[in-house]
Structure 1
Amino acid sequence: MTAAEVKALQAQDALGSYTGYGTARFGMDEDAFRAAWRADLKGAVDPAGDCSLLQRPWDNALADFDFMFEHGRFVRYDVGTPREIAPGGGKVGMSVAQIRALYGRGLQVLPHKYQQNEQYLRIADGKGDVLIFETDTAGKVSRWRVGVPPQIDNEDGCL
């Protein structure tokens, strides 16, 4: 990563938010997203495709972090590492009780689509954007994502 890319990333005040990531906002097309991001990304977006993913070059796997695009528009980002902090302070490794303490009454608990004894913890910001934490069988956050409906509620991401 170049010094200019590092500086551009450091200039993004609040990285994870309900409306996007850094200066990139949900609804942007790939060109606007890349202009807002101002650093290299792995992958390409198919403007006509149902789902495309971009990845930061320093993330080793899509499971660590990805930006999701549908029909060429930025709609969601997924996080699977404790290095990132969700809007409101949640992160991978926290317990359900810790998430409840942070997000309070707005937290909706839903059963996991595929795994028994795992849950989705869903928080809507009241403006259409949503944060979802996934828990493991021990009741700890294993992943989280932020985006817009209906894409945010697709448990399978891009398949």
Structure 2
Amino acid sequence: MKPLICSALAAGSLLLFIPAALAQSQTQRGEYLATIMDCTGCHTPGTFLGKPDLQRPLAGSEVGFQIPGLGIFYPPNLTPDRETGLGKWSEADIIKAVRTGVRPDGRQLVPIMPYHSYGKLTDADAKALAGYLKSLKPVRNQVPGPVGANEKPSSPYLTVVMPQ
């Protein structure tokens, strides 16, 4: 009978480790998704200048995108910094923004953010991505705010120029 007790105790101990293993694999899944979705391609300082700052991944960009008729928009800081990033956003807020393009304050993200495509994420993948972003080291990095269509920007931006 003693071997059964030991086996039961061992099995119970193993169950204690399963949630930690699942949390780790969910964070790894989120990191994988952020990588294949190329979040760093827009949201990392220096990327558009040819020198990505790998010490501040996903901390936002100092180079924006001009959307004709709308203005210039700068990719925000996705780290959980409470002042300059997503630190005050809940996991549900992040999931909603990624899937629908709607921020917690009700503003719509510009369509350069491919939320139409990301709206197809499964619930598990959306949760993994949001969990990964919440797990990052907070990086204080204030990106320039949006600039209206008729305003003069003070930071660099990318634009589309039609052939003449």
Report if TM-score (shorter chain) is over 0.5: no
Give the alignment's TM-score, normalised by structure 2: 0.26
TM-score scaled to structure 1, two decimals? 0.27
Bigger-Rg structure (1/2) = 2
Pick 1 or 2: higher relative contact order, CA cutoff 8 A, min separation 6.
2
Bigger share in strand: 1
